[in-house]
């Protein structure tokens, strides 16, 4: 495997599954830290702040910081603020999305008269929130969604993801949103900018072909599939476009 300077790393299914640390994950981060390799955890989770993401990882035994995290909420805020600085936003989502939008200088409003509607995972979703979002989109607000994940893994099983919530507004209004998170290129372009390296110097690591691996493929970045999560090696081998590499676990990378 090529010796890369930068590593984009998925979290769930790559670093851990629920409360279970995946074999080789902690050792891989230790290897990156010890060898001064640049890396970013790239997550579609918009409900957590970078500090909260890093805190969970550290509590599980990883040694990292919020500077090594980019979320779909951060990428969404960056996209909107670059396109329309100071724009008004009606958001559906958690504290991570709210803080990212605010930190980017965007104005969060609680009514339908806004420039943008942003959909993120909201565990306290309500009919009223969806109603205001629909009304705002019908009023001409630009429709943005942090990611299209239709389900998310949980100790209870697979629960509705942000893509499922987004679909309610999309079906009701007839409008398709701009998606920001993996496998879209928007979050990856921002990750490349944040890490400060060329695409050729980086690799995208993840377990799920339809988000992690396609994010790299769509963005022209080499990919490393880990056989520790959702997509099996057998399923990978059936894909039209294969990842650059596939490994049993991250121990194989640091041998």
Annotated catalytic residue, options 3, 12, 122, 210: 12
CB 82 within 8 A of CB 48: no
Q: Is 222 a catalytic residue?
A: no
Structure tokens at 27: 């050792």
Task: Compute the CA torsion angle 215, 220, 226, 230 (nearest 10 deg).
Answer: 30
| Count of other CB atoms within 10 angstroms of residue 76 | 34
Structure tokens at 189: 């372009």
Q: Is 12 a catalytic residue?
A: yes
Q: Scanning the structure block, which residue is given the tokens 């049993």?
A: 248
Residue 63 exposure: Cα atoms within 13 Å on the Cβ side: 8
Helix (H, G, I), strand (E, B) or coil at 40: strand
Annotated catalytic residue, options 3, 10, 149, 212: 10
Q: Tell me how far apart the alpha carbons of residues 214 and 69 are, in angstroms, rounded to a whole number.
A: 20
Annotated catalytic sites, by residue? Answer: 10, 12
């Amino acid at each position: 495997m090529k010796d890369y300077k930068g590593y984009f790393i998925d979290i769930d299914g790559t670093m851990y599954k629920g409360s279970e640390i995946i074999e080789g994950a902690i050792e891989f981060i230790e290897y990156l830290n010890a060898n001064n390799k640049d890396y970013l955890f790239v997550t579609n989770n918009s409900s957590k702040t970078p500090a909260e993401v890093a805190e969970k990882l550290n509590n599980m035994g990883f040694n990292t910081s919020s500077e090594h995290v980019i979320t779909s909420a951060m990428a969404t805020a960056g996209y909107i603020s670059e396109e329309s600085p100071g724009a008004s936003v009606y958001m559906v989502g958690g504290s991570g999305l709210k803080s990212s939008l605010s930190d980017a200088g965007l104005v969060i409003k609680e009514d339908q008269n806004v420039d943008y509607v942003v959909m993120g995972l909201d565990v306290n979703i309500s009919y009223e929130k969806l109603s205001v979002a629909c009304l705002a989109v019908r009023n001409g607000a630009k429709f943005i969604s942090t990611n299209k994940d239709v389900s998310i893994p949980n100790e209870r099983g697979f629960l509705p993801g942000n893509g499922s919530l987004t679909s309610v507004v999309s079906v009701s209004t007839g409008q398709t949103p701009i998606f920001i998170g993996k496998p879209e290129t928007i979050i990856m372009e921002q990750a490349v900018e944040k890490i400060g390296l060329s695409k050729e110097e980086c690799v995208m690591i993840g377990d799920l072909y339809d988000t992690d691996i396609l994010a790299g493929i769509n963005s022209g970045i080499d990919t490393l599939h880990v056989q520790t999560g959702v997509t099996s090696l057998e399923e990978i081998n059936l894909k039209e476009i294969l990842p650059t590499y596939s490994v049993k676990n991250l121990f194989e990378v640091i041998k």
